[in-house]
Amino acid sequence: MSSNTVTHTIGLMSGTSLDGVDGVILLRDGDRLTVTHSTHLDMPSALRRQLFDLNTPGDNELQRAQWAANDLVRLYARAVEALLQVSRLEKSAIRAVGAHGQTVRHQPAAPGARARVDESWLAYTLQLNNPALLAELTGITVVADFRSRDVAAGGQGAPLVPAFHRAVFARPDLQVAVVNIGGMANVTLLSSADDTVTGFDTGPGNVLMDAWCEQHTGHLFDANGDWAAQGSVNEHLLQHMLADPFFQVTGPKSTGRELFNAPWIRQHMEAAQAGNTTPVDIQATLCELTARTVTDTLPADTRHLVVCGGGALNRCLMRSMQAARPNCNVQASDAWGLPAMDVEAAAFAWLAEQTLLRLPGNVVAVTGAEGPRVLGAVYPA
């Protein structure tokens, strides 16, 4: 593709939070990347429950998984149609749809370790999707299955957004960190000194807060972090949580609901003898856990933390990260030119273009793969 080529690519993302589908149209004009239109479709409650249940073993999993994938893809197709309507673009104007799928199982190499390729059968990552059906429903080329090639090459398969973060947030004169806080949280460290990029999953983003909030308030998430803001951090419980082995290992590492879930909360409450802690104080402690596990990973000279994903809307979490790093400017990615809720979907639009151009989408220092790899599989229109 020449440097003056203009393309439109759609990116679709449904993350660990299971709140819905985010979709964007990413415009590439030479080296400039812009989100021109975006949409969000809430996850139907029945589909959300199906996908949540598939995170753990159960009866008739194969059929249930395929049915859930088909339902999810129909929601994806609705998101594509919404984007075409609002943008007034014809489907022929869209280069491709990058569809990540819904992660329901993630078992890569052990954190901090690089799997040998001849032992890669020990590792896998599973995203429910039906890209062939999506290509049929939309009439647009679909790129999917982004993670498995990196895992096959001995990598974690996640996070995959750091290469995109570098493309849109790197500044030659600034030390910048980017954190995506969805269900899980991942950080990208962009060095101004040598233009290198590193990154890894830091641990839970919203997943524990969401689970606790739903259990005790009936709401799927803590809007604006208002409930957590009413509580006080149980420092003893926080230290027990921070002692989890996942937080002691440096990257490459990635994680998911297999580790961080409601039983994980109960396990640490029992170990810390925190059973009498009020629910609102537990919520405040979980918020502080996410803040600390993000900020503790930042180099001392980091002066800018760009926050994207749903966590950017949690004011209590944003204040906690700012308090933990007072010399660092903590801002939602909106201030850097890309709305916080659009970043991850835009990343998979960008990764879809990388696939079509036969260019690598992974960063070896991030995932631990044996080398750069072209990611994804293509389903032509």
pLDDT tens-digit series, residues 10-19: 999 998 888 9
Spell out where 30-183 has E strands: 32-42, 94-99, 102-107, 124-128, 142-144, 176-181
What is the rounded CA–CA span in Å between residue 125 and residue 255? 11
Hey, is 245 helix, strand or coil?
Answer: helix
pTM over 0.75: yes
Structure confidence by residue, pLDDT tens digits, 95-153: 999 999 999 988 887 665 554 445 555 788 899 999 999 999 999 999 999 999 999 99
Distances (CA, A) of 189 to 6, 150, 176, 268: 29, 20, 6, 30
Structure confidence by residue, pLDDT tens digits, 19-76: 999 999 999 998 899 999 999 999 999 999 999 999 888 899 999 999 999 999 999 9
Structure confidence by residue, pLDDT tens digits, 237-251: 999 999 999 999 988
Structure confidence by residue, pLDDT tens digits, 156-211: 999 999 999 999 999 988 899 999 999 999 999 998 767 789 999 999 999 999 99
Structure confidence by residue, pLDDT tens digits, 155-167: 999 999 999 999 9
The tokens 């078992």 sit on which residue?
Answer: 107
- Give me the sign of the Cα torsion angle 130, 123, 21, 218: positive
Radius of gyration of the chain (CA): 20
Spell out where 129-196 has E strands: 142-144, 176-181, 184-190
What is the rounded CA–CA span in Å between residue 313 and residue 319? 11
What is the rounded CA–CA span in Å between residue 295 and residue 167? 22
Nearest 5°: the CA angle 307, 309, 310 is 110
Distances (CA, A) of 319 to 111, 284, 287, 315, 377: 29, 12, 10, 6, 41
Listed residue (229, 236, 221) closest to 181, CA to CA: 221
Is the pLDDT score of 305 beyond 60?
Answer: yes
| pLDDT value at residue 213 | 97
Is the pLDDT score of 2 beyond 60?
Answer: no
Count of other CB atoms within 10 angstroms of residue 91: 15
| pLDDT value at residue 113 | 52
Q: How many residues are there in the chain?
A: 381
Structure confidence by residue, pLDDT tens digits, 360-369: 999 999 999 9
User: For helices 131-138 and 61-87, what crossing angle results, to 10°?
Assistant: 30
- Domains annotated for the chain, with CATH where assigned, are 6-157+342-379 (3.30.420.40), 162-336 (3.30.420.40)
Q: Are 188 and 161 in contact (CB under 8 A)?
A: yes
Tokens standing for residue 341? 């809720």
Q: Are 187 and 294 in contact (CB under 8 A)?
A: yes
Q: DSSP letter at 221?
A: S
Rounded mean pLDDT of 316-331? 98
First to last CA, the chain: 20
**Confidence class for position 297, pLDDT limits 50, 70, 90:** very high
The residues, any chain, with a CB within 8 Å of residue 358's CB and separated by 6 or more, are: 374
| pLDDT value at residue 111 | 62
Listed residue (207, 196, 316) closest to 256, CA to CA: 207
Burial of 226 (0-12, 13-18, 19+ CB in 10 A): exposed
Rounded mean pLDDT of 248-269? 94
| pLDDT value at residue 53 | 93
